[in-house]
Chains A and B, each alone.
Chain A
Amino acid sequence: MKTKILTLIILSVFLSTSCSKFLDVKPAGKLIVQKGDIVSYDNLMNGSGVLGSGFKNPGSYIMLTDEIEVSDNHNTYNTNDSYIAGHNAYIFKTPYSNPINKDNIWGAFYTVTQTYNCCIDGVNEVKTPETTEEANATIAQATIGRAWSYFTASLLYGPVYKPNGTNSAKVLPYRKTSQVLAPMEDLSTLDEVYANVSKDIHSVLKNVPEVVTGVARFGKVQSYSFLAYYHLFTAKYDSVAYYANKALTMAAEQNGGMDNLFYDMNKFSWADSKVATEPDARYRSSINTAQGTIALSDANMREICLFKYIGITGLCYPSQELLGLFNATTDLRREYFFFEYDGYKGTLGGVAYNDGRRIQNFQSKVAYTSGFTYPEILLMRAEGYARTGKTAEALADLNYLRKFRHKTGTPDLNISGADNIMLEIANERRREIPVCSHKRFADLKRYTKDAGKPWSKSGITHYLRGKSFTKNVDSEYFVIPIANDVIRYNPQWGLEENTTPWSKDFNF
């Protein structure tokens, strides 16, 4: 009987045991960041979430610039869905993209900003007094990263920015919370975006580390470059020169001298020895830089200051205008990245077509970025100098770059007059920045304000099947509209969906 009673007691105790402590653990095996762990949030900035994965897919805006031309054959025979938006954009047939589609580029920008927001909110939640410095450094990088993303997005989704005017067009929601289900912000005007970007950068600039671990992060050099770029659009050219100079000087110090920020293309060679004799050997060969062990196609090759994905496309050829900017005999960029290869050809439905041999741009041989390269920063400084009357300094910068790009022995430029120098800087930018990227798209939109200047264009003309198509840069044709599905999710914005029928039938 004693045993029975004892058993009953044990059982009763067991039955009434509370298990709240037993359950009071977070599920193991999942990285739920603990107090003081700044590093885990910092490492979010090593993920592709900050690079803009959708941004690397070509958007239709790429096809709006003067850098490219589409062949009649390509337009006729390439029926692939993804090319239709590009072809529509090329002939300014709106809507460019199918309005039922999700806007992957918009999505990519907001993936980037959300990643940075998670860093900022996360660090604020787990930081401790002991980790203040580390926390501030992470928050600073993330804040500038977020600003960069919104600024770049505004170049695509906003109209031409008027530095001395009112920019009241509503562009995008400047979201600063990582709470997914938090209420959606109202759309910011272009003025508000510019103000927010500037405020964000300057609020944290002092905490930005001088040296960062990878080229995808915003250290001091990258942040100064961003400020220089920002002021190209606000037309504060003294600030452009100031920040570009700060960026270059600091980078030169960190890398053992200015020369180490550039590849001297005179030292380049083709890896394939048959390049001299076989017409197609260039196509298959890689390029030996003879300057460091990092490949030219790597994200951290020496000329890249800030790496972010970029939209580039293979559905067109470089325009004759662009090719005409290169000196075919002395410019080494022309030799290594633009050469003749078989054009678009094939058979469809029994019909053979062939573009023949065409000069094409071989983008895969070199890493491109929508961030910044040192040559671009140098050219920003040059532009800053040229537009503030420091023509000698501007010319010196131009000639400094040219010695790396042209065959040894090519004479320096010897031109005078601010406009002449500025035109040459604008042309040099076109030679340096990725072909048909958003960079040229954005440049066209800021140059158009310099009406009457040789580097400014009021409109862009494209040709297809013997017809020409022209549209003004400062018009809705150069603004990417907010996608219908985003509008549907946010009726409070008061935007209307685009109901224009979309098709690929080109009845022109």
Chain B
Amino acid sequence: MKKLSIFLILCLLVSFNTLSAQTISLNMNRQPLKVVLKEIQKHTDYKFIYNTTIVDANQLISINVQNGSLKEVLNKMFKDSDITYQISEKLVMLSKKSKTNEIERQKRSGKITDETGGPLIGVAVRNQNSNVISVSDLDGNYTIEAKEGDKLAFSFIGMETFYATVGKSVVVNVPMRTDDILLKDVVITGYQTLSKERTTGSYSIVTSQQLENKLQPSLKSIIEGQTAGVVLTKEGNLEIRGVSTVNGVNTPLIVVDGYPLIGNNVGIESVNPDNIENITVLKDAVAASIYGARASNGVIVITTKSAKKGTFNLTYKGIYQITMKPDLSKLNLATTEDYMDAELDIYNQNPNSSYSSYNSYSRIADYTYLLMAKSKGLISASEADAQIAQLRQNNSLDEVEKYLIKPKQSQQHSFSLSSSTETNQLNTALRYNKEYGNLQNNDNSRFIFDISNTWKPKRWISVRAFANVNYSETNATVEQYSSFTSFGSSSRVLPYTNMYDNSGNPVVWSPVGQRRMSTYETFAGMKDVTYHPETDLDKAMTTSNNLQARLGGDINVSFSDFLTGSIGGSWVKGTSKSQTIYDAESFVMRTAYNDGTDAKNFTTHYIPAGGKIDQSDGEIMSWVLRGQLNYKQNFKGDKHRVSAILGTEISKDTYEYTYLPTRLGYDPISATYNNSFSVYNYNKNTNNMTGSMLFGKAPANIGTISYGNNYGVRDNRFSSWYGNASYEYNNKYIITGSVRLDLTNFFGTDPKYRYKPTWSVGTTYKMAEEEYFSGLKNIFNRFNIRASYGVNGNISLNYTPYLVLAVGSYSTETSGIAYTVNSYPNDQLRWEKTNILDVGVDFAMFNNRLNVALDYYNKKSVDLIVSEQIDYSRGTSTLPQNVGGVTNQGLEVTVSGDVINNSKFKWNSQLIASYNNSNVDYYKVTRNYSSSYTYLTQMVEGYPMDGFWGVRFGKLDDKGNVLYLNSKDELVTNDKLTGADCIYQGHAKPVCEISWTNSFRYKNFEGSFMFVGKFGHTFRKDAFVGSNYNNRHVSERWRQAGDEATTIYPVLNTNGWESFYYPFADVFIGNASFVKLRDLSLGYNLPSSVVKSMGLTNLKVYFQTRNLFYIAAKGIDIDPETAEYDKSGGSGGMINQGYTSLQLRPEFYFGVQISL
């Protein structure tokens, strides 16, 4: 933190010149103080130190001295000013003269330190009773005259002001703390570091202190609620001010230490949250246009920590987390009794169907099988009835929850070490975290190592080098909880499956096609086909790992006081590997072995004994190179401030991946497989050789047998030129402008579209600096009005101007490797454009006690690449073209204030509200059918981007079928519904998101809690719609004439036709608004005496809990956040809205932080 503050105090350090004379001759007339001091330094080896908040460095000084000593010069200089000085060895400290009688006061002194115990240099110490001011020296020591009872105020930029009342002791030591709010005043764009006062754009800043008490492992979720306009979506993506593309990249650009993260698996998760100094979110055109064509979705700039000057620090932070077990009753499934009742109903409706399935060796549900077997005489009626009675006693869901599901847990360990000398700043950080999932053998871990060093061998040059190494590993069982809970007619586990005996021991069963069992028995050498999830889980695993190193650095050269330049870059190299292995003893491989037997010769097995392994490998390499010139100069004092940058950047992103062929007969011990197995022959012949394998075809549950050797590469290239400039007049008016040209190898066969610059202009008006504002100055100490406009771009990496073919697999119908057309040529494809207007007001009241930021934005995106429907007589029904348009409009409010702020108790409260409304301006699609509207969410002209569209429920008829209301308010059956009958049912995404954070500090305790609220969106409730009899509402269905008066759930009907319409009825739309206590945390810093006795500088313990409770809208009986719009859903017959996700459960974290 101090590094930043150093920028803000003028600390003039000059090298010792042995030839300089100790007498000074000066003749300067009305020159700024800092110029005069600089001149003196040329002749002496003294250093000047002063605080700009106390001493005005621009005040004009006149002096004429010939061969005078330093003291003589200083006395003469400050004779008529309010400045006094103090000389200590080779250091001259400037401060203000006392205006009161100093005789009663005696010297008090002490040392000023930061949280780490390091000295703070240049802290202003003001005696509030006498107005005497002093400054701390290089060791953090200060001296000031004060009497008992005087109040001293210690102030330093970036730190909270510390107040002390002088007692009897002459020594007053002062521990100062970093001030979160003030640190927000530095904007880091990745190209520049600016004071927020010097900008015109819209930025949000998150400081390391805001992150420190968030103990969850995911950086994305840590950022949630911290800044206005940045939201974490249901899918886990960060979104800045809505989405402004359809097919393009829709996530923000992440920039770390100045360079964008490009390539696969190089996301924000590769950043160590414990090693972050500052996160700056660039939201509008001014900020983002310097990132040009990839900045449409906003930019998140992350700066990692660097060592504080002259310090040594070693810190360990450890966190353990446990999450409550999921409550499976919240999956909203039918009870065993209701499920069996429905299964019986279905069987009676179409008894042929189960017999057909049985005959074709398919698995049918156990209860249905017993009913069918009983009617066809396959087993006796009494035996069937007895087994059915037994099934009614079981409840698999309870057993899954009790025996299979575990609470999630995680552990995080983080070390950081930093050390700094005059010329080197070294920072290293190491982090390891491991998370354990709800099922055994499911875990993931990540290891992050960072090292950075800044070396400043000469005053005019500095060299920065950094490295980031990430290793992550994921182990997941192929079967997940949904394998045991998504009940369908051929599921292995059904609600009435008996999985455990009374003592909790697993009970095995054979979930294969019932008719297969008798066939297996007639062959020798068949494998056992019994199954139990608990024992089978770890026999089918997907493991993946990812290693990636990012190296980078730059050289900064100062050519003169106003011109600097830098050259730098970053380089990423990474490998990833993913393997799915089915063990030889897994249920899938055992049954595949059996089913892959030759029907006539049981010694011939088309599927060899052993396991199955599928593997893919990927390798990325990407780099960015940049050269930049920076110009910064002030004229006429500081009346005119000009700064500009000019740079160029080239980057390349390459990726190679290989899918190896499926290997069978795999033995993990010897790492061998069956060489004679030919995937090509298997797929070409065996798979379709009806009559040759036991049941005609190859076993379906073995999954895809991949040819492998799929090989792919990517080579994306960008080349850019950019520049920006800013001019500020009299500390009141700022105008800025930026321009950037991006070229890529993706587009641009038509030169008209190749050279397309992005640009921005912006202005800020600091109203509080005006004369006419002086009357309000004691209320508003800052009042800035900002406005900006500009154009950003976005790219869709999926489309090119060329005819692109795709290689498919072997087709048994055409006897060859099938190629298809991937995309038709279009040489007019180009960058998408987003025009952003931003108007903002920032004001601070009561001496920064209350800070308010307001922003209005309008992002108009045009030329969006969408697949426009065309005449299918042209051979394709859609063609991607730059024709889409979307507008996002929004308001953002941040209000932050110190409710209480005294030396004992501090309470800060911050409310952030973001409102975003999108509108589809142009999107040409023909929607004839209601299903053209109801699938997932739809973009419809004149409506929000993520709209839910659906049909209107009328009533159930006297046969239990659904009648809908069409656009003329007539009751119709589903076949009569057309697109015109669909209505808009609300946003799928929240319109308004708020977060309300309260932080407290009392003595050594600190705590905070954050509420998040999401409003204005809707969700589709779970419903029984005719065929999904695994839903809890199946028992409320229509059964006989008259029921239609009391229920909205239709008759059970296996054809599933209603499920294409009814789930999307207005009666199943729920209000998804909620408020949730997202987190609550407590921290305790052990008293420094205790900590010191342990040889430490700091010891802190933490506790945090997340998602303790929520409040939803009236009548909503499930957590809307769980049921919120989920893109992974579908619209098929058994789909059950609200089912696909397990509910969010309360999480508990315990942590400790130790610093040496």
Q: Does A pair with B?
A: yes
Tell me the A residues contacting B by CB distance below 8 Å.
3-4, 7-8, 10-11, 14-15, 17, 19, 22-33, 40-41, 43-51, 79-81, 84, 100-102, 106-107, 110-111, 113-115, 117-118, 122, 173, 175, 178-181, 184, 213-217, 271, 280, 283-284, 286-288, 293, 295-300, 307, 342, 345-350, 485-486, 489-490, 503-504
Does B445 make an interface contact (CB < 8 A)?
Answer: no
**Contact residues of B between 780 and 805, Cβ < 8 Å to A:** 800, 802-805
A44 to chain B: closest residue by CB? B819
Residues of chain A within 8 A (CB-CB) of B821 are 44, 49, 114-115, 118
Whether A350 touches B804, Cβ cut-off 8 Å, given contacts A7-B555, A15-B629, A79-B973, is no
* 14 A-B contact pairs sorted by A residue (CB < 8 Å): A7-B557, A8-B559, A15-B629, A19-B650, A24-B745, A29-B655, A43-B819, A50-B814, A81-B1057, A110-B873, A295-B691, A298-B688, A348-B349, A486-B872
Does B648 make an interface contact (CB < 8 A)?
Answer: yes
Whether A347 touches B1057, Cβ cut-off 8 Å, given contacts A30-B804, A47-B808, is no
Does B812 make an interface contact (CB < 8 A)?
Answer: yes
A217 near B655 with CB under 8 A, answer: no
B875 near A25 with CB under 8 A, answer: no
Residues of chain A within 8 A (CB-CB) of B973 are 79
Residues of chain A within 8 A (CB-CB) of B647 are 15
Once bound together, how far apart are the Cα atoms of A352 and B768, in whole Å? 84
Residues of chain B within 8 A (CB-CB) of A80 are 1055, 1057
Whether A295 touches B959, Cβ cut-off 8 Å, given contacts A180-B824, A180-B879, is no
Chain B nearest CB, measured from A268 CB (Å): 12
A47 near B874 with CB under 8 A, answer: no
Residues of chain A within 8 A (CB-CB) of B692 are 293
Once bound together, how far apart are the Cα atoms of A140 and B445, in whole Å? 58
B960 near A349 with CB under 8 A, answer: yes
Sorted from nearest, which 7 A-B pairs have the closest CB atoms? Answer: A114-B875, A214-B815, A349-B959, A46-B816, A28-B715, A489-B871, A284-B359
Residues of chain B within 8 A (CB-CB) of A41 are 805
Whether A296 touches B690, Cβ cut-off 8 Å, given contacts A4-B557, A22-B717, is yes
Once bound together, how far apart are the Cα atoms of A102 and B713, in whole Å? 37
A184 near B871 with CB under 8 A, answer: yes
Once bound together, how far apart are the Cα atoms of A28 and B655, in whole Å? 9
B805 near A44 with CB under 8 A, answer: yes
Does B1004 make an interface contact (CB < 8 A)?
Answer: no
B815 near A300 with CB under 8 A, answer: yes
B690 near A15 with CB under 8 A, answer: no
Once bound together, how far apart are the Cα atoms of A102 and B873, in whole Å? 11
Number of B interface residues at 8 Å Cβ cutoff, please give it: 95
B627 near A15 with CB under 8 A, answer: yes
Does B818 make an interface contact (CB < 8 A)?
Answer: yes
B959 near A26 with CB under 8 A, answer: no
Whether A25 touches B879, Cβ cut-off 8 Å, given contacts A11-B567, A11-B629, A48-B818, is no
Chain A nearest CB, measured from B358 CB (Å): 9
A46 near B1053 with CB under 8 A, answer: no
Once bound together, how far apart are the Cα atoms of A115 and B820, in whole Å? 8
B873 near A173 with CB under 8 A, answer: yes
Once bound together, how far apart are the Cα atoms of A39 and B460, in whole Å? 61
Chain B nearest CB, measured from A57 CB (Å): 15
Residues of chain B within 8 A (CB-CB) of A280 are 355, 359
Contact bitstring B689-702, A, C-beta under 8 A = 1, else 0: 11110001000000
Contact bitstring B368-394, A, C-beta under 8 A = 1, else 0: 000000000000000000000000000
Once bound together, how far apart are the Cα atoms of A489 and B959, in whole Å? 42
Once bound together, how far apart are the Cα atoms of A100 and B808, in whole Å? 33
Once bound together, how far apart are the Cα atoms of A231 and B313, in whole Å? 92
B928 near A490 with CB under 8 A, answer: no
Q: A81-B1057, A111-B872, A348-B349 are in contact. List 4 more A-B contacts (CB 8 A).
A: A215-B815, A286-B690, A347-B349, A486-B872
A486 near B871 with CB under 8 A, answer: yes
Whether A106 touches B873, Cβ cut-off 8 Å, given contacts A299-B813, A345-B352, is yes
A51 near B803 with CB under 8 A, answer: no
Once bound together, how far apart are the Cα atoms of A280 and B824, in whole Å? 50
A47 near B745 with CB under 8 A, answer: no
Once bound together, how far apart are the Cα atoms of A29 and B557, in whole Å? 40
Does B1046 make an interface contact (CB < 8 A)?
Answer: no
Once bound together, how far apart are the Cα atoms of A41 and B807, in whole Å? 11
Chain A nearest CB, measured from B151 CB (Å): 50
Once bound together, how far apart are the Cα atoms of A175 and B627, in whole Å? 53
A47 near B811 with CB under 8 A, answer: yes
Once bound together, how far apart are the Cα atoms of A214 and B812, in whole Å? 9
A180 near B874 with CB under 8 A, answer: yes
**Contact residues of B between 667 and 712, Cβ < 8 Å to A:** 685, 688-692, 696, 712
B646 to chain A: closest residue by CB? A15
Once bound together, how far apart are the Cα atoms of A102 and B927, in whole Å? 10
Does B348 make an interface contact (CB < 8 A)?
Answer: yes
B824 to chain A: closest residue by CB? A180
Does B59 make an interface contact (CB < 8 A)?
Answer: no
A46 near B359 with CB under 8 A, answer: no
Residues of chain B within 8 A (CB-CB) of A295 are 688-691
Once bound together, how far apart are the Cα atoms of A407 and B803, in whole Å? 55
Does B38 make an interface contact (CB < 8 A)?
Answer: no
Does B75 make an interface contact (CB < 8 A)?
Answer: no
B875 near A31 with CB under 8 A, answer: no
Once bound together, how far apart are the Cα atoms of A114 and B870, in whole Å? 14
Residues of chain B within 8 A (CB-CB) of A175 are 873-875
Residues of chain B within 8 A (CB-CB) of A7 are 555, 557, 565, 567
Once bound together, how far apart are the Cα atoms of A288 and B974, in whole Å? 44
B873 near A489 with CB under 8 A, answer: yes
Does B1040 make an interface contact (CB < 8 A)?
Answer: yes
A121 to chain B: closest residue by CB? B803
Does B194 make an interface contact (CB < 8 A)?
Answer: no
**Contact residues of B between 863 and 881, Cβ < 8 Å to A:** 870-877, 879
A32 near B691 with CB under 8 A, answer: no
Once bound together, how far apart are the Cα atoms of A184 and B816, in whole Å? 32
Once bound together, how far apart are the Cα atoms of A121 and B814, in whole Å? 22
Once bound together, how far apart are the Cα atoms of A214 and B808, in whole Å? 16
B978 near A100 with CB under 8 A, answer: yes
Residues of chain B within 8 A (CB-CB) of A79 are 973, 975, 1057
Residues of chain A within 8 A (CB-CB) of B629 are 11, 15
Does B218 make an interface contact (CB < 8 A)?
Answer: no
Residues of chain B within 8 A (CB-CB) of A8 are 557, 559, 565
Does B929 make an interface contact (CB < 8 A)?
Answer: yes
Whether A27 touches B746, Cβ cut-off 8 Å, given contacts A8-B565, A102-B877, A345-B352, is yes
B961 to chain A: closest residue by CB? A349
Once bound together, how far apart are the Cα atoms of A40 and B973, in whole Å? 49
Contact bitstring B554-582, A, C-beta under 8 A = 1, else 0: 01010100000101000000000000000
A28 near B806 with CB under 8 A, answer: no
Once bound together, how far apart are the Cα atoms of A7 and B458, in whole Å? 14
Chain A nearest CB, measured from B1041 CB (Å): 8
B691 near A102 with CB under 8 A, answer: no
Once bound together, how far apart are the Cα atoms of A490 and B873, in whole Å? 10
Once bound together, how far apart are the Cα atoms of A271 and B712, in whole Å? 44
Residues of chain A within 8 A (CB-CB) of B715 are 25, 27-29
Residues of chain A within 8 A (CB-CB) of B654 are 28
B1041 to chain A: closest residue by CB? A350
B696 near A286 with CB under 8 A, answer: yes
A101 near B928 with CB under 8 A, answer: yes
B690 near A31 with CB under 8 A, answer: no
Chain A nearest CB, measured from B816 CB (Å): 3
Chain A nearest CB, measured from B1021 CB (Å): 25
Residues of chain B within 8 A (CB-CB) of A47 are 808, 811, 814, 818-820
A346 near B349 with CB under 8 A, answer: yes
Once bound together, how far apart are the Cα atoms of A296 and B688, in whole Å? 10
